[in-house]
Amino acid sequence: MTAAPPLGVSVSVPESWWEFDIRPEGREATVRHLVDDRVRAVPELAPYRGDLTTLLRRMARDAYDSGALYLGCMAENFEGVPLTATMTVTVLGAADAQGVALSTDPQAIAAGLKTITPRREGDAWRKVTTVEIADVGLCARTYGVEDVRVEQADARTVRMVLTQTYIPIPGRPEEIVLISGASPVLDLADAFHDIFDAVTSTFRFVPAGPGPGPVPGPGSGSGSGSGPVPGAGPEPEAGPA
């Protein structure tokens, strides 16, 4: 059997978002450089330099620890209210806990994902659907407001606006790409679901480039990042239940 050619991924986020190398060896310098550039461009952010640096470090660390190969994040302050969100791209092995191969067919994936029905106002919820992404095809998706584990080995949870899209990889039925959008700003759930949908719609497979991390690229009214698709990663923070 002929091996599938190497693939990379590309996704675009709004221009005001942050994109950077999440690998430990490049993380600190990249965060510092980005914050310096942003404060220089927007002097009103100067009082929040330390908070922004701490937040971006944590987001990058969490994304790297979860196995993500790309991170785009929003970190803004609107009239004293912090607005944060992240978009990550992760490659998952298409197998269950016993190692049995699972179908990467979008309809099959959607059928295996569970909805969460709230019992009362304010409860967590999740809906399951499929979406069509241009040049990619049909994909399974969940969206809602869910309780996400702080860490894989930690039973504590935090409630998040969450959109997750499962994208089959051409020629690699043993793996799948997971794009996750998350925000703790529950009052703006509908708005963030729309943002996550818009960003995910820019996802494309591209020829693999060198280097293991995201490579910022130019965009028209947006930032863009790309990186090669590596081997299978760990389970998502919040996936099928």
Q: CA distances (Å), 233 to each of 2, 6, 13, 88, 95, in order? A: 23, 16, 23, 13, 11
Ranges in the chain, pLDDT < 70: 1-7, 151-154, 209-241
Share of the chain above pLDDT 70, in %: 82
pLDDT at 47: 87
Q: CA distances (Å), 11 to each of 70, 203, 223, in order? A: 9, 5, 9
pLDDT at 94: 84
Q: Is 117 exposed, middle or buried (0-12, 13-18, 19+ CB in 10 A)?
A: exposed
Question: What are the strands, taking DSSP E only, across 102-153?
Answer: 125-133, 137-149
Cβ–Cβ < 8 Å for 71, 88: yes
Q: In terms of Cα–Cα distance, which of 113, 94, 87 is closest to 11?
A: 87
Angle at 68 between CA 65 and CA 73, to 5 degrees: 100
| CATH of region 7-11+69-208, choose from 3.30.420, 3.40.50, 3.40.1000, 3.30.70 | 3.40.1000
pLDDT at 160: 95
Which 3 state secondary structure label does DSSP give 202?
A: coil
Tokens of 59: 């987001």
Helix or strand (DSSP H, E) at 199: helix 189-200
pTM of the model: 0.78
pLDDT at 23: 81
pLDDT at 212: 38
pLDDT at 233: 36
pLDDT at 64: 81
